[in-house]
A and B are shown apart, each in its own frame.
Chain A
Amino acid sequence: MIESSKMASYELYRKSSIGMSLTDALDELVTNGTISPLLAVKVLMQFDKSMNDALSTKVKVKTSFKGHLHTYRFCDNVWTFILENASFKTDNEVTAVDRVKIVACDAKILAH
């Protein structure tokens, strides 16, 4: 996983709660003039890298999920699924949701 530090990183995870928290925080600092927008962008890029790294190295959880596929789309190498009545099963617990959106970038492109 050492090579992961050299990889390009998806910005995908900026939409997660941790990414949005960072974006909000940066937004405040940029708005009140504490940091420059450029610096904020650099932080976000570092976040992309750190998040990609952390997910592939720090996380061991495996999940399986089922559901009814409501919508699928493959555009610009990004799959988007909308599942209805989906259930996600991790080691010992099942999480059920009425509707979930799944956005997935191509793992292989990143590995190049």
Chain B
Amino acid sequence: MANTKQLAKEKEMAMSVSNVYLHVVEDVINNVRADFQSEGVDDNVLNELQSLWELKLVQSGAIQESSGHEAPANPASKPTSQAVATPVHDLNVPYVATEEYEAPSNDMSFSRVSASASSREPVMFQYMPPGPSEESLQLNSGHHLPSRMGNGTPSSYMQQPAAWMNQKHRGVELNMNETYEEREEGDNGIAQMPVAAQGAPPITKDFLTISTGKRKHEEISSGYYIPQRDGAADDELSTSMGEACQNVHTEAVGSWVKERSIGRSEDSGLWLQQRQSADAAIEEMIRAKFLMHSGAVPQLDGIDDEYDDAVAEDYNEPEEDDVPPASVAATPAANVEPTESEGSEPPLNEDDDDDDVDDADHGDEEPATNHLVLAQFDKVTRSKNKWKCTLKDGIMHLNNRDILFVKATGEFEF
């Protein structure tokens, strides 16, 4: 009794992959016969199906004919590799979609980052050319536009930000004076900004501030971006700031030209100073230009957008700081319209984004493999990087050979 059982078991054990497959073929053919008949399809067609199927099985190398000659003849295993390639492709399709959905979440994380950055260092400051030292900060307080002279600040207060700025944002120089002045200035018109990261004056400092980038994201997502901007800019600029900006513009340009004639051969402190006032001049020019050319809504948005992008990029990648300040500094000297340098930068940023996406795509693309295991899992566990899984009812296709299992245990480390 036990012996016969044992024998039967061994016989079953011995049931080769080919036999299982042939059994499946038989089983399927027999069970669909009724369906064929009910559709009025001739039995011959069913036989044709069976022989076609078996032929392809043999060609794929999945089963071996009794002679066993055909099995090694494996150039015909191409269909199998296609079969393997197909799931790889299929699984990537949803992945692309995920990627698209991830993009906004990246934005979210960015806004979170900049939010925390701005809470830590509440005010975002004037952007300056790379390289300036603390010295330049101090100098700047005295050398900025006359109307702001009174607001010169204790240097002890400025030293601190200078330290973290130099360490963490190498190229980015921040001007505390500027910020606070701007805030006061801005508060007249900014009150309508509910999001109002502390001290991110929208119009005056847009192209220089980081928190603006964050606000931009938030505004876009919350959908009140455009109306708010327009209202703020229109009101503020047309009333309180319009004329002042014009004056400031000419003043700043004048002072820039004068300082520039001093030449670069002077000591570096002076040079930095000049660059800073150049920055201010540019800023003012942009603002003035912006005022003169537009009460128009679309223009406002465009300018703001572009500057937002540019600054966000600078903040994230300090190494590249050299580029934007250089172009900005060159602007007044070359008498190039600021809008041109603006126009050239946003595409850059967009490209960067695209590259990131592409990289991610390539990085996560699954390497194609011809070896495939199809199974059902009973249990998958992980402790730290050690994984264990138990699978059942599996078909393995390894080295162009099929192996079936009823149970499999796997251990692997990540």
A-to-B contact residues, CB < 8 Å: 10, 12-13, 15-22, 24-26, 28-29, 34-36, 38-39, 42-43, 46-47, 49-56, 58-72, 74-75, 79-83, 86, 88, 90, 95, 97, 99-108, 110
Known: A24-B79, A35-B41, A50-B27. A102 touches B375 (CB 8 A): yes
- A28 cross-chain contacts in B, Cβ below 8 A: 52
- B385 cross-chain contacts in A, Cβ below 8 A: 69
Bound-complex Cα distance A83 to B49 (A): 36
* A107 touching B376, Cβ below 8 Å: yes
Closest chain A residue to B12, Cβ basis: A60
Bound-complex Cα distance A52 to B29 (A): 15
Q: Taking the nearest CB of chain B, how far is it from the CB of A11, in angstroms?
A: 10
Considering residues B41, B49, B366, which has the most beta carbons from chain A within 10 angstroms of its beta carbon? Answer: B49
Bound-complex Cα distance A58 to B15 (A): 7
* A13 touching B374, Cβ below 8 Å: yes
Bound-complex Cα distance A71 to B39 (A): 46
Chain B contact surface mostly: mixed
Beyond A54-B24, A58-B15: 15 further Cβ-contacts under 8 Å?
Answer: A17-B62, A20-B56, A21-B57, A25-B56, A35-B36, A39-B36, A47-B24, A56-B393, A58-B12, A69-B413, A79-B389, A83-B410, A100-B373, A103-B374, A104-B374
* B20 touching A53, Cβ below 8 Å: no
B23 interface contact, C-beta 8 A: yes
B397 interface contact, C-beta 8 A: yes
Q: Taking the nearest CB of chain A, how far is it from the CB of B43, in angstroms?
A: 12
Interface size on B, residues (CB 8 A): 79
Closest chain A residue to B57, Cβ basis: A21
Candidates A10, A55, A67, A80; contact of B412 at CB < 8 Å = A67
Known: A42-B35, A54-B27, A59-B20. A110 touches B87 (CB 8 A): no
Closest chain B residue to A49, Cβ basis: B31
Bound-complex Cα distance A110 to B393 (A): 12
* B374 touching A52, Cβ below 8 Å: no
* A107 touching B377, Cβ below 8 Å: yes
Bound-complex Cα distance A70 to B363 (A): 12
Bound-complex Cα distance A111 to B12 (A): 24
* A101 touching B82, Cβ below 8 Å: no
Closest chain A residue to B392, Cβ basis: A107
A-B contact number at CB 8 A: 253
* B412 touching A68, Cβ below 8 Å: yes
Q: Taking the nearest CB of chain B, how far is it from the CB of A9, in angstroms?
A: 11
Known: A21-B62, A54-B20, A103-B373. A90 touches B56 (CB 8 A): no
Closest chain B residue to A104, Cβ basis: B377
Known: A39-B39, A60-B12, A88-B403. A16 touches B378 (CB 8 A): no
- A90 cross-chain contacts in B, Cβ below 8 A: 403, 405
* B31 touching A46, Cβ below 8 Å: yes
B-to-A contact residues, CB < 8 Å: 9, 12-13, 15, 19-21, 23-25, 27-28, 31-32, 35-36, 39, 41, 45, 48-49, 52-53, 55-57, 59-63, 79-80, 82-84, 86-88, 91, 94, 366-367, 369, 371-378, 380, 385, 387, 389, 391-399, 401-414
Known: A100-B369, A105-B376. A18 touches B57 (CB 8 A): yes
Q: Taking the nearest CB of chain B, how far is it from the CB of A74, in angstroms?
A: 8
* B371 touching A97, Cβ below 8 Å: yes
- B394 cross-chain contacts in A, Cβ below 8 A: 55, 63, 104
Known: A58-B15, A107-B377. A34 touches B48 (CB 8 A): yes
Known: A60-B9, A79-B380. A36 touches B52 (CB 8 A): no
* A16 touching B367, Cβ below 8 Å: no
Known: A101-B366, A102-B373. A46 touches B404 (CB 8 A): no
* B406 touching A62, Cβ below 8 Å: yes
* B406 touching A60, Cβ below 8 Å: yes
Bound-complex Cα distance A21 to B45 (A): 16
28 contacts between A and B (CB under 8 A): A16-B62, A16-B83, A17-B61, A18-B25, A18-B402, A20-B82, A22-B28, A25-B53, A35-B36, A43-B32, A46-B31, A55-B394, A55-B395, A55-B406, A59-B393, A61-B403, A61-B406, A65-B408, A69-B387, A70-B367, A79-B389, A82-B366, A90-B405, A95-B401, A101-B371, A104-B377, A104-B389, A105-B376
Known: A60-B9, A103-B373. A25 touches B398 (CB 8 A): no
- B402 cross-chain contacts in A, Cβ below 8 A: 16-18
Bound-complex Cα distance A53 to B39 (A): 26
- A47 cross-chain contacts in B, Cβ below 8 A: 24, 28
Q: Taking the nearest CB of chain A, how far is it from the CB of B39, in angstroms?
A: 6
* A29 touching B378, Cβ below 8 Å: no
* A63 touching B396, Cβ below 8 Å: yes
- B375 cross-chain contacts in A, Cβ below 8 A: 12, 102-105
Bound-complex Cα distance A71 to B57 (A): 30
Q: Taking the nearest CB of chain B, how far is it from the CB of A84, in angstroms?
A: 9
